[in-house]
Chains A and B, each alone.
Chain A
Amino acid sequence: DAKTTQPTSMDCAEGRAANLPCNHSTISGNEYVYWYRQIHSQGPQYIIHGLKNNETNEMASLIITEDRKSSTLILPHATLRDTAVYYCIVRPKNSGNTPLVFGKGTRLSVIA
């Protein structure tokens, strides 16, 4: 069972920030929040992950609430190529390379 809840779909105007929420109210202290995305006809792609601090890389930023029960993935300047299904996944800190458990994700449509 997926431990996360995400909206089914979202739209975002090209050039604007895309903010994708994820609820993980049952997350435990030793679990990370991971984000992957899947562009049409491609395999899933890792974006970012975090434990409790906010994280930023070249692709996105991850904002985790203080109580860790929810998070937001931010694509600062969305482009048409960011149209994809975005998956929020909770995984144990010392997962030992265990498999990913995918939910239904959020289908993000970036509109010109």
Chain B
Amino acid sequence: DAGVIQSPRHEVTEMGQEVTLRCKPISGHDYLFWYRQTMMRGLELLIYFNNNVPIDDSGMPEDRFSAKMPNASFSTLKIQPSEPRDSAVYFCASSPFQGGGLTDTQYFGPGTRLTVL
């Protein structure tokens, strides 16, 4: 399995531009998570999906951020308009559902390093 795939790996854009980050989860995983990592705040959750449905988006900073999961193999995180404070590494992770009292393991992608000038 190729693991979680994210694109692009690096993105440099100017303030005010629209940015779209993409994620392909591991096949068969029911859950998809978007995290953001900055020096100041560390790793923090933005939003997560179960079977393509958003479950918790309380971590999304503001209306400039939106995330979609149109099918089980693809998700996007969009920032419009982007601002310098959005500069961070954005990680996507997926996990399989594990019932029967077993807990899950999350598999992370390599991340997208976003720089907003």
Residues of A within 8 A of B (CB): 32, 41-46, 49, 91, 93-95, 97, 99-104
Contacts and interface: CB of A to CB of B under 8 A. Distances in A.
A102 B43 CA distance: 6
A78 B110 CA distance: 23
A102 B103 contact: no
Contacts of A93: 101, 103
Overall SS of chain B's interface: strand
Chain B interface bracket (under 10, 10 to 19, 20 to 34, 35 or more): 20 to 34
Q: Among the interface residues A42, A43, A94, which one has the most CB atoms of the partner chain B within 10 A?
A: A43
Nearest to B97: A97
A99 B50 CA distance: 11
A102 B107 CA distance: 15
Interface in B32-62: 33, 35, 42-45, 48, 50, 56
- The 3 A-B residue pairs whose C-beta atoms are closest, nearest first, are A43-B108, A102-B43, A99-B45
Given A97-B50, A99-B33, A99-B56, A44 B108 contact: yes
Interface string B65-100: 000000000000000000000000001010101100
B111 interface: yes
Contact of B43 (A42, A44, A95, A97): A44
Contacts of B20: none
Contact of B93 (A43, A94, A95, A101): A43
